[in-house]
Amino acid sequence: MQINLHKTYLVVLILLLFEGCMKDNTWVLNQQNKPSLNKGVFIINEGNFMYGNSSLSFYNTATKKVQNDLFYAVNNLPLGDVAQSMIIYQNLGYIVINNSGKIYVVDSSNGKYVGKITGLTSPRYIHIINNEKAYISDLYAGKITIVNPLTYQIKGFIRTSGHASTEQMVQSNNLLFVTCWSFDNTILVIDTNTDAIIDSIKTGKQPGGLVLDKFNKIWTLCDGGWSKAGASIRTPVLQCVNPLNRTIEKSFSLTSDAAPSRLAINRTSDTLLFINNGVWKFGVTEPKPVNQPFLKTGNHLWYSLGADPLSTDIYLGDAIDYQQRGVIYRYSSQGAVIDSFKTGIIPGSFCFK
Amino acid sequence: MLNKHFINIPADLKKWHCFKFIIIIYLVISFSQFSFAQHITDTLRIKPILIYTQSMVKEEAGRTSTKIDSVSMIKSLTSSLSDLISQNTPIFMKDYGRGAMATASFRGTAPSHTQVTWNGIPLSSPMLGMVDFSTIPVYFTDNVNLLHGSGSLSELSGALGGIVKLENTADWQKKFSIRLLSGTGSYGTYDEFIKLTTGNSKIQSQTRAFYNYSNNDYPFVNKLIANLDPITGKYLYPTQRNLNSQYCNYGLLQEFYVHPTNKTIVTVRYWYQHNNRSLPRLLSNETDINANINIQSENAHRVVGEYKYYGNKGTFDLHVGSNIQLSTYLLRNKVSGNADQIVTNSHSNSATYLFKANYVFQFNKNLSLSTSANSIANTVNSVNSPSNSSSTGYDVNRLDHSISLQLSKSFNDRLSANLMAREEIIGGKSVPLIPSLGVEYRPFKTANIYYKGSIARNYHQPTLNDLYYIPGGNPKLKAEEGIMADLGTGYSGFTGNLSFHTSLSAYISEINNWIIWLPTPQGYWEPYNMKRVNTGGVEINAGIKGKLGITSLNVNGNYAYTSSVNRDDPRNWADESVGKQLPFIPKNSANLVVNLSRSDFHLTWLWNYYSERYTTSSNDKTSRFDVLYPYIMNNLYIGREFRLFKGTFDIELKILNLFNESYRTVLQNPMPGRNYSLLFRYDF
């Protein structure tokens, strides 16, 4: 009797163990939703580097409702690894996925995946010139990729010899200004008619953000590079470039312990905003920056900033601990919280619709 | 609303897995108990049983330890240490893919909290403070022992999870022996190994060499990217290969053992190893084919000299050694018309030099005093030179000293205790006293049942990368401080032709100033101290060994419940991480190894299980990427042994991933389906 029981135990145990299967495909969605995305803002959540858990959220400013994980829910595909930025052109949303080397193109009215630009190296931003030409900057390629924004085909490259990284872009007439951020101190000037680099402007260390003000002046925020542990060698600086003569007109140094990022400009293009622990405001005609932040950090970890071009609202992304869903705070131009909502992991940038 | 779809099926799966898991654990434990009960009953009826009682070692009282048995070592000769450990111990190995990095989480702690020593020399890099277990070949070790939690303090401090001790030993009876091993497997995988032993009772030499290569280009269907069918618009999932993931490792280990007098042994060992591998792209990657070309290379030179003297009243041993690691990582993008863009070109030279002396003085058989002093010099020179930028890096030395005293007493045959105190000076700064207390009690003289417990404080210093890496190194980091306690019980013995053992240990620890690296808005990562992490859990081990008729049986199983909870202060109202399990640490893990042999045939079945692992600090379960589903793996080895040319020839077929599972162990790396390896072994 005991022997039989003994054997039964063994058989049941072995059968149970052999049954194991991990069912990698059981997460596949059976139903696709096509939400209606009206007026609002897309939040591009970076996700964690190498996890591939970046995501897209949409906040409807009229209904104050947020839809998270929008891209996956609609398309049954992950967005990829480190979603960097997004723009909308002719109702198409171009989402740049930095560490996946691609740009997903979606219908901006419902998030549906309609195409992609692949074969990039480490894309950061896309700037569309016209229906036939767009430029894609790249962190590690040493070139700007020229693509057709409607057929998604790569048309060519602008080599940026001596400059490994290209970052943000703004256009003034037929000239495109692009920052060279990583370990660099340059703004390149490209003629969009000929795709040729016609000039370069030396800036402070690591120019990242780039915006155009209402006087057609270009502002760049240089983060000063990286500090050597224990030594203050950083020189963060906010600089104004005249696009006509391509010289630096104004330069405002920040303190050496500053870590500025996320340069934005308000709806009327007369006030700059950036993060430096807190959020700082700077009128483009002011003689020098104020010495108090517009919004203090408090217990937030401000990671992203966006200024709504259709209202005076300011959006701030709190990454909390970078390992959970962040929170977006919507502020009035006077600094009062209007709304807040949870979004994806590391909300990194905004695209207003 | 949309997210609901993500969790329906996995919730059902989880319930089934939980239910099944409980049944399995129940059956494993009850089966072993049932076996014991049966044998005891039989014995009482037939004849008196022989109970094997291990004598209590007072110096080790209270310590929880695990020794991987020799059968498992033989079965894993061509495996890496990560496979051996995940299959035979309660340690969770986070495996980034076949041939890729594998890091340990011992009792719910971080990779840097598991120290690895090789014959007394720390193998952990002083830069990273951790060991990549995938690079250590089982070929080169004879014994693998684990010291859990506070038990690690007998060797060194800082192992908040525990220590993995790798040891080599000599067989003084051997005149000449040779072991040859050759294997070939799926995806262009080759394993070659030779071991030559020669000597006599006074001097022994052992020489081992290995070579291991794999193209590692297994196929898989990538469902994380899709192309649109130009006509229907439907998704077309590409079938891809795991390209750019080849690896090549080789090494040499030379050991000399000299026995000049009956009381002394002198040992010199030298271990050279070269590791070379590429890291494959993530599943979601669709970059240019000329992008992300990378190669990681390491040369390690390890040498240790040991002098051991066995006196009438005590034992003295001296270790002098070094671990020198030269690592390079090159990541580049080919750009037509331009020079290659070097994204990372890092050269890191790190070295650890150790001087360690131990003396154990036996006042009498019931009282001893152990003293230990060691000095460790760590040096790191790390430089990164990407394209178009000046080099960044650091060049730092740190000298650490430690002394410890341990008083061990046996109060009688059944009760022993030891009290230890360790004092350390790290980089010129004194660390508060590290005390530990261990107690062991055996209630019966004839039955090998024990109860034991220990309590200790421990400190883990920030690594040199934590302090000085550029960018991000934080020289203001505090040391991690742990307070830990263990309680355990166990029972072992044998009856008839079967021996058995079971053990159960429970532990808790509180680790303050836990170090974690996080991104910053400036684009680089930076370490900082979390307030506190509490860990706790249960480890169960059971095994049976012996003969059932003409069949030899060797079964060993482990189960671990691991709680590793964030007790930091919430950052703000939205922070949902407090009170949650740390990411990537499974709450439940288990493994089982069954070895059967009959006449010349042998069969091994390995089963391994991890419960789901969260990828977020908040333990969210709203999207597909928030949770890694439970991991269940089955491997089967079948072989036959022959007598050949006065030696033994063994041929073995290994079937890995027996049920051809499509799975991932981390979010973005595919794992291979069913694959095979054919091994030939010759022992003379």
pLDDT in tens, A77-90: 999 999 999 999 99
Q: Which of B126, B117, B121 is nearest to B382 (CA)?
A: B126
- Cβ atoms of B566 and B530 within 8 Å: the answer is yes
| Chain A residue with minimum CA distance to B618 | A324
Q: Is the pLDDT of residue B547 over 50?
A: yes
So what's the pLDDT on residue B175?
Answer: 85
Q: CB distance from B510 to chain A under 8 Å? A: no
The mean per-residue pLDDT over the stretch A177-181 comes to 96
- Cβ atoms of B261 and B282 within 8 Å: the answer is no
Q: Which residues of A touch B18 (CB under 8 A)?
A: none
So what's the pLDDT on residue A305?
Answer: 96
Q: Is the pLDDT of residue B365 over 50?
A: yes
CA gyration radius, chain A:
23
Name which of A31-35, B70-74, B383-387 the model is least confident about.
A31-35
Q: Is the pLDDT of residue B599 over 80?
A: yes
CA A49 to centroid of chain Cα atoms: 14
Inspect the interface and report whether the beta carbons of B633 and A20 lie closer than 8 Å.
yes
The mean per-residue pLDDT over the stretch A26-33 comes to 48
Q: What is the band of B341 on the pLDDT scale with cuts at 50, 70, 90? A: confident
Interface with chain B: mutation pick from A104, A320, A328, highest number of B CBs within 10 Å: A320
The chain-wide mean pLDDT, for chain A, equals 90
Whether omega for the bond prior to residue B471 falls within 30 degrees of 0, making it cis, is: yes
- Cβ atoms of B496 and B546 within 8 Å: the answer is yes
- Cβ atoms of B278 and B246 within 8 Å: the answer is yes
A214 CA: distance to closest CA in chain B (Å): 27
Q: What is the band of B10 on the pLDDT scale with cuts at 50, 70, 90? A: very low
B187 CA: distance to closest CA in chain A (Å): 22
Name which of A108-112, A222-226, B281-285, B461-465 the model is least confident about.
A222-226
Share of chain A above pLDDT 90, in %: 78
Inspect the interface and report whether the beta carbons of B285 and A118 lie closer than 8 Å.
no
Give the type of residue at B169: T
The mean per-residue pLDDT over the stretch B362-379 comes to 95
Q: Which residues of B touch A157 (CB under 8 A)?
A: 336-337
Nearest to B287 among A121, A298, A319 (CB): A121
Q: Which residues of A touch B226 (CB under 8 A)?
A: 77
CA distance A32 to A74: 5
Task: Strand A218-222: give its sheet, edge to edge.
Answer: A207-212, A218-222, A237-242, A247-253
What is the DSSP track for B628-675? EPPEEEEEEEEEEEEEETTEEEEEEEEEESTT----BSSTT-B---SE
Q: Which of B608, B437, B501, B579 is nearest to B82 (CA)?
A: B608
Q: Is the pLDDT of residue B153 over 60?
A: yes
Looking at chain B from residue 577 to 616, which residues have their Cβ under 8 Å from any Cβ of chain A? 577, 583, 592, 607, 609, 615-616
Three-state DSSP state, B31: helix
Q: Which of B78, B76, B73 is nearest to B249 (CA)?
A: B78
Q: Please state at what angle helix B4-46 crosses helix A2-19, rounded to 10 degrees.
A: 160
| Chain A residue with minimum CA distance to B36 | A6
pLDDT tens-digit series, residues A285-308: 998 888 889 999 899 999 999 999
Tokens 């495909």 correspond to what residue? A25
Q: CB distance from B225 to chain A under 8 Å? A: yes
Q: What is the band of A183 on the pLDDT scale with cuts at 50, 70, 90? A: confident
The chain-wide mean pLDDT, for chain B, equals 89
Q: Is the pLDDT of residue A232 over 60?
A: no
Inspect the interface and report whether the beta carbons of B518 and A323 lie closer than 8 Å.
yes
Q: Is the pLDDT of residue B458 over 80?
A: yes
| Chain B residue with minimum CA distance to A53 | B625
Q: Which of B174, B161, B99, B157 is nearest to B133 (CA)?
A: B99
Q: CB distance from B534 to chain A under 8 Å? A: no
The mean per-residue pLDDT over the stretch B287-294 comes to 87
Q: CB distance from B520 to chain A under 8 Å? A: yes
Beta carbons within 8 Å of A34's beta carbon, 6+ residues apart? A74, A110, A111, A112
Share of chain B above pLDDT 90, in %: 73
CA distance A233 to B618: 37
Q: Per mean pLDDT, which of A27-36, B213-222, B328-337 is the most reliable? A: B213-222
Q: Is the pLDDT of residue B608 over 50?
A: yes
Share of chain A above pLDDT 70, in %: 88
CA distance A265 to B432: 53
Helix boundaries (H) for B389-548: 464-468
Residue B389's φ and ψ, nearest 5 degrees, are: -150, 160
A71-80 per-residue burial string, b: 16 or more CB within 10 A, e: under 16: bbbbbbbbbb
Three-state DSSP state, B8: helix
Report field, pTM of the whole predicted structure over 0.90: no
So what's the pLDDT on residue A118?
Answer: 95
Inspect the interface and report whether the beta carbons of B34 and A9 lie closer than 8 Å.
yes
Beta carbons within 8 Å of B107's beta carbon, 6+ residues apart? B90, B148, B149, B161, B162, B507, B509, B535, B537, B562
pLDDT tens-digit series, residues B466-513: 999 988 899 999 999 999 999 999 999 888 889 999 999 999 999 999
CA distance B422 to B371: 10
So what's the pLDDT on residue B663?
Answer: 85
So what's the pLDDT on residue B404?
Answer: 95
Task: From residue B302, give the alpha-carbon distance in Å to each of A104, A351, B251, B269, B373.
Answer: 49, 54, 11, 8, 21
B375-404 per-residue burial string, b: 16 or more CB within 10 A, e: under 16: ebbbbbbbebebbbeeebbbebebebbbeb
Tokens 């977006």 correspond to what residue? A328
Inspect the interface and report whether the beta carbons of A81 and B284 lie closer than 8 Å.
yes
Name which of B48-52, B56-60, B213-217 the model is least confident about.
B48-52
Q: Which of B167, B131, B143, B133 is nearest to B73 (CA)?
A: B143
So what's the pLDDT on residue A291?
Answer: 83
Q: Which residues of A touch B663 (CB under 8 A)?
A: 22, 24
Looking at chain B from residue 448 to 477, which residues have their Cβ under 8 Å from any Cβ of chain A? 467-471, 473-475
The mean per-residue pLDDT over the stretch B591-596 comes to 95
Q: Is the pLDDT of residue A143 over 70?
A: yes
CA distance B120 to B352: 12
